Amino acid sequence: MRAKVPIRTVLTMAYGTPKDFAKTTLVRYPEGMNIFKFDSEDAWVREVAAFWCERLRSQPRLRMCLPSGHTPNPIFAEMGRAVAAGKVSFHEAQIFALDEFGGLARDDQGRCANMLGRYLLKHIDLPAQQFHSLAVDEPDLDRVCGEYDRAIEPGFDLTLLGLGLNGHLGMNEPGSAEDSPTRRVELAKSTIASSGKYLTHENLPTWGLTVGLKPLLASKEVWLLANGSGKGEIVKRVVRGPIGTDVPATLLRKHPNSFLMVDDEAGATL
């Protein structure tokens, strides 16, 4: 049985006072998933960015794991505007790319690091040496992944994740072990097909490197982002379906500090 909790008390404690309290619902389920449902995509973008700014102001050396793709781009743009206006700074922070496609040229616009650079990094004040990405072009990928896991230690303070249509987290596809480390993975057919929207050619990637479920679930705080009606069904499965590795995003319901942040369309069934 879900229970709607007054959002003002909860969010004021954690983040200050967002502009859209009156337009936001916090839904809590017995399994522990916290859901912030905003009444529009604009409110979703603005307030997720406001929460993020508060986290950076309270902890300037925030260690973050960030996704690429279409979902976070409007939020990245809002963060760029906040940096330009002097409202927040990434100067002391660390950013780790969540994943990277294999088999693409270094300058391919669809590479995850390149998308992060284009939509976020070029618009913020993060020093170049404080951005970490997965070196898919190296010959020894086991070494690359092991070194990435060691660089992640002592863990992420904040992880932002998009929600795949099959419930994957990063490139941790259905069936990924809950204790999986950073590693090379073969992509699901739906992920391969979806990658085409980032590319200008038909050489779709079939594999990649991803931060594993173990370091993601060990993050101190996790925000799962979803917007648009196309995410409605998988949002419903994540929140109401059985918890298990067949839908990796459901594992976040066991995380003590996880938040699903949706707009009105993605959260229409909640």
DSSP letter (8 states) at residue 100? E
Whether the Cβ atoms of residue 223 and residue 34 lie closer than 8 Å to each other: no
**What is each CA distance from 26 to 7, 200, 250, in whole angstroms?**
5, 39, 18
Within-domain flag for 173: yes
Report d(CA 44, CA 85) in Å as an integer: 20
Asked if the structure places residue 269 within a domain, the reply is: no
Q: Would residue 116 count as lying in a domain?
A: yes
Residue range 85-142, pLDDT digits in tens:
999 999 999 999 999 999 999 999 999 999 999 999 999 999 999 999 999 999 999 9
Compute the half-sphere exposure of residue 258: CA atoms within 13 Å on the CB side of its CA. Answer: 22
Q: For 137-156, how does the pLDDT look when each residue is reduced to its tens digit (9 = 90+)? A: 999 999 999 999 999 999 99
Domain that holds residue 209: 3-262
Write out the catalytic residue numbers: 99, 166, 168, 173
Report how far residue 131's alpha carbon sits from residue 154's, in angstroms, rounded to the nearest whole number: 16
Residue 106 CA, chain-centre distance (Å), reads 23
User: What is the residue whose two structure tokens read 């960015």?
Assistant: 49
Q: Is residue 228 part of a domain?
A: yes
Residue 270 within any structural domain of the chain: no
In a domain, 268, yes or no: no
Res. 27 pLDDT band, cuts 50 70 90: low
Is residue 35, in this structure, part of any structural domain at all? Answer: yes
- CATH number for 9: 3.40.50.1360
Residue 215, pLDDT above cutoff 60: yes
**Tally of structural domains, the chain:** 1
| Assigned domain for 112 exists | yes
Strand 3-5 and strand 24-28: the pairing is antiparallel
